[in-house]
Amino acid sequence: MLKGSALMLALCVPEVSSWIICDGDIDPEWIESLNSVLDDNRLLTMPSGERIQFGPNVNFVFETHDLSCASPATISRMGMIFLSDEDTDVSALVKSWLKGQPDECRSNLENWMGDYFHRGLDWVLKQNDLVVETSLVGTVLNGLSHLSGVTERGQFVVSLIRGLGGNLNLKSRQDFAKEVLVWARESPPDPRKPLDTYFDPESGRLCVYTLERPDGLSLEELTHTHTLPVIQTPDMQRGLHCFSHWLSSQHRQPFILVGPEGCGKGMLLRYAFSRLRSTQVAVVHCSAQTSSRHVLQKLSQTCLLLSSNTGRAYRPKHCENLVLYLKDINLPKPDKWGTSNLIAFLQQVHTTLQYSTVHYNTLQFSILQYSTIQSCSTAQLSSHTCTHARTHTLTLALFSSYPDREQLQTIYSAYLQPVLQRSLGSQAAWASTGKTHQLAGSLVQVYEQVKAKFTVDDHSHYLFTPCVLTQWVLSLLRYDLSAGNCNITDSVLEVVAYEAKRLFRDRLVSSKDIHSFDNILSSVIRGDWGSDALDNMTDGFYVTWGASEGGGVMAPGQSLPPHGKSLGRLDFADLRQVIHKGAVLYGRDNRELDLLLFWEVCHFVSRVDRVLSRPGGSLLLAGRSGVGRRTATCLVSHMHGYTLYTPKISRGYSLKHFNNDLKNVMQLAGLDGQQVVLLLEDYQFVHPAFLEMVNSLLSSGQSHINNYTNGIHNV
């Protein structure tokens, strides 16, 4: 790129002053080669040996936020100007923004800005509790983003809380909302929940978000876990109103949505995208290997490259607008100098709405047709450093948190209703919403107690999010809830408790933790239902071979049911006999298994069977060598008719070989329609990039090779 600029400037007459502006991170990979240009020689030597002489009319300007990787030899060759937040004139920035507002509301906005905006900005800066690190200008722009075109005082107050408070942690945001409402002498409809206040333009008053209960969900709406229906809780409505303004065609701006794992960021964005008119969403699931090249590949799939009088430009193929959604933006791995190629590319696009290619051409994005949405978890935000305050200044920020207990109970009560109705539709006791709401409350109570008791501070995999509740509810579709017990309530509770043990108990490490979980589950079941159903679970296993249908070998090309094969109850003797027959058949086709079938082995096989019999089921089998993890996986895969694939490691096994193995697995599943189990063992991860690729496959179902279909299971 520098060579192209140098050759272009060489054609200019010496009387014309020229400037080469380098905007971005500075690292020794390229800045050291400019040392001879910055001294008296003014000579650029290319790697090919070509030399370009600069005249005295050519000057360089480097704009960066960090000089930690620049050597003293480079810094000593140029002057330096330091611009800090203390030098920023917020009043001038606000005045410039006011000039762009409509005439009919500019006067009121100017008065309200003087009364509340600067006071609110000082409060936020003094509190210093921002979720996303940003600059003073970034905080100001975040606050102004909601105030455009505001005509009513109440609307201004609510918009100010959403703008300046959007990047605050939940506790500080609540305190900020209370302060602003006191300053404005506005009384919120519900003083206990000031954040749930919104302005109703029809009545001209402040109102409070209320739960909009769905009329009744159908079982078809729960078929795909990635497109579950959205329940209109107050938190959901507030979050939607906070960033829907940034998605509108009049005020479209790039923003980042941050929140803890499993708080519903993706579901909220998906619902917001579905309400946009003539808009296509291009989703990029970021991983450690994601770079600008992958973003450009996605754009080439969704856009046309057209020529115009200002150069070549990307335009959406099938609609008017394009939204580029970058999920887990903090995962791309920075280089050894701390620079992320993807972040630098996005920074260039956000700043100039264009980027330059290696052939010195410029490709442009139309500001009315392009916007970027980024999301990441707060854990990723704190553990990665490839993004910085300068990048976040160019994007607005919004923090999303977990729903409270009442809203969780409402959400999963709505999900439970069609699930229970499928098996218990004829049972009068479970036909009312009261029982369903009570069961949802028990599930939420167990989840919250487990989450409080077992944390990532104890073990890194003790991460329990509302996603576990979703799995818990949808997994009940695999059971016949009315079978196996004359008391329907006890039968339901037995299945619920069994699924809870698989989701929570199987992750726990020590016997002490397991005992604590058993006490939590038992106390909730007995306290809410007065039932001793857990006492009858010692000898029962729920496996696919115990179901009345759907437990046999998969036919070639046959897909798994959306939520997995049905599960039925077998006692120890029956399950032992089934596994013995499977081991005999496996020995005929592969190798003989010297397997002693005692209770623990049958229990382990039943847990492997439960996971591998659902679409995309993945297992992390942690334990000592020789406990039978590989044997159980091979046996269950063979009993279901799956294809087992595992990489063959040799001395020269490299990333290229691993890519080829993944490609073979994807072809078996995606093209041949086979159900495939990909078995990866610890000794096979000979390169750190292997684990990064597997993480990408597990989190997004995609890799940089191809799509990863539901027919592939990870073990």
- The DSSP-derived string for 192-212 is T-GGGEEEETTTTEEEE---B
- The pLDDT assigned to 367 comes to 35
Beta bridge partners of 130: 168
Give the model's confidence band at 354: pLDDT under 50 very low, under 70 low, under 90 confident, else very high.
low
29 has pLDDT over 80: no
Total Cβ atoms within 10 A of residue 535: 9
- The pLDDT assigned to 220 comes to 87
Q: In the 8-state DSSP scheme, what is residue 431?
A: T
Give the model's confidence band at 42: pLDDT under 50 very low, under 70 low, under 90 confident, else very high.
confident
Cβ–Cβ < 8 Å for 34, 71: no
- The pLDDT assigned to 379 comes to 60
Beta bridge partners of 714: 618, 678
Give the largest Cα separation in the chain, rounded.
Answer: 97
Greater pLDDT, 516 or 15: 516
697: CB partners within 8 A, 6+ apart: 662, 703, 708, 714
Q: Which of 259-263, 402-406, 548-552, 672-676 has the lowest mean pLDDT?
A: 548-552
Which amino acid is it at 47? P
- The pLDDT assigned to 364 comes to 46
Cα separation, 4 vs 17, in Å, equals 17
Burial class (CB in 10 A: 0-12, 13-18, 19+), 704: middle
Q: Which of 438, 414, 542, 431 is nearest to 483 (CA)?
A: 542
User: For residue range 84-104, what is the model confidence (pLDDT) as tens digits?
Assistant: 888 889 999 999 999 999 999
- The pLDDT assigned to 361 comes to 43
Greater pLDDT, 147 or 707: 147
Mean pLDDT for all residues in the chain: 85
Give the model's confidence band at 353: pLDDT under 50 very low, under 70 low, under 90 confident, else very high.
low
**Structure-token pair, residue 486:** 């004359």
- Phi first, then psi, for residue 703 (nearest 5°) are -135, 175
328, HSE (Cβ side, Cα atoms, 13 Å): 20
Q: In the 8-state DSSP scheme, what is residue 544?
A: G
Cβ–Cβ < 8 Å for 154, 207: no
**Residue written as token pair 């249908």:** 549
- The pLDDT assigned to 169 comes to 94
Q: Which of 120-129, 249-258, 402-411, 556-565 has the lowest mean pLDDT?
A: 556-565
Alpha carbon of 495 to those of 426, 447, 573: distances in Å?
A: 18, 16, 20
Within this chain, domains 2-82 and 241-403 share the same CATH topology: yes
Cβ–Cβ < 8 Å for 375, 257: yes
Average pLDDT estimate for 362-373: 50
- The pLDDT assigned to 109 comes to 94
Q: How many residues does the chain have?
A: 715
Give the model's confidence band at 329: pLDDT under 50 very low, under 70 low, under 90 confident, else very high.
confident
Domain boundaries, the chain: 2-82, 95-208, 241-403, 413-514, 643-714
Cα separation, 507 vs 73, in Å, equals 54
Helix H or strand E segment including 45: strand 43-45
Q: Which of 1-15, 604-618, 640-654, 662-676 has the lowest mean pLDDT?
A: 1-15
Distance linking the first and last C-alpha atoms of the chain: 45
- The alpha carbon torsion through 379, 385, 389, 392 (nearest 10 deg) reads -60
Cβ–Cβ < 8 Å for 259, 265: yes
**Percent of the chain that is helix, strand, coil (3-state, to 5):** 50, 15, 35
Helix H or strand E segment including 149: none
Give the model's confidence band at 634: pLDDT under 50 very low, under 70 low, under 90 confident, else very high.
very high
5 has pLDDT over 80: no
Total Cβ atoms within 10 A of residue 165: 28
418 has pLDDT over 60: yes
- The pLDDT assigned to 355 comes to 56
Greater pLDDT, 704 or 463: 463
Average pLDDT estimate for 212-225: 82
Beta bridge partners of 643: 676
Cα dihedral 226, 231, 232, 236 sign: negative
Multiple choice CATH, 643-714, 3.40.50.11270, 3.40.50.300, 1.20.1440.230, 3.50.30.30: 3.40.50.300
If one looks up domain 241-403 in CATH, what number appears? 3.40.50.300
User: For residue range 546-595, what is the model confidence (pLDDT) as tens digits?
Assistant: 887 655 566 666 788 888 899 999 999 999 999 999 999 999 998 888 88
- The pLDDT assigned to 360 comes to 37
**Highest mean pLDDT (candidates 316-320, 481-485, 535-539):** 316-320
Average pLDDT estimate for 175-197: 93
Question: Residue 643: helix, strand or coil by DSSP?
Answer: strand
Cα separation, 340 vs 66, in Å, equals 14
User: For residue range 487-506, what is the model confidence (pLDDT) as tens digits?
Assistant: 788 889 999 999 999 999 99
**Structure-token pair, residue 633:** 């996986």
- The pLDDT assigned to 464 comes to 94
Would you say the pTM of this structure is higher than 0.85?
Answer: yes
Question: What's the CATH architecture for 2-82?
Answer: 3-Layer(aba) Sandwich (3.40)
Cα separation, 431 vs 434, in Å, equals 9
475, HSE (Cβ side, Cα atoms, 13 Å): 24
557: left (phi over 0), alpha (psi -120 to 50) or beta: left
Beta bridge partners of 645: 678
User: For residue range 53-75, what is the model confidence (pLDDT) as tens digits?
Assistant: 888 888 888 888 888 888 888 88
Q: Which of 62-71, 317-326, 383-392 has the lowest mean pLDDT?
A: 383-392
Question: Residue 486: helix, strand or coil by DSSP?
Answer: coil
535: left (phi over 0), alpha (psi -120 to 50) or beta: alpha
Question: What's the CATH architecture for 413-514?
Answer: Up-down Bundle (1.20)
- The pLDDT assigned to 706 comes to 43
Q: What percent of the chain has pLDDT over 90?
A: 44
305 has pLDDT over 70: yes
Angle at the Cα of 261 from the Cα atoms of 669 and 397, rounded to 5 degrees: 115
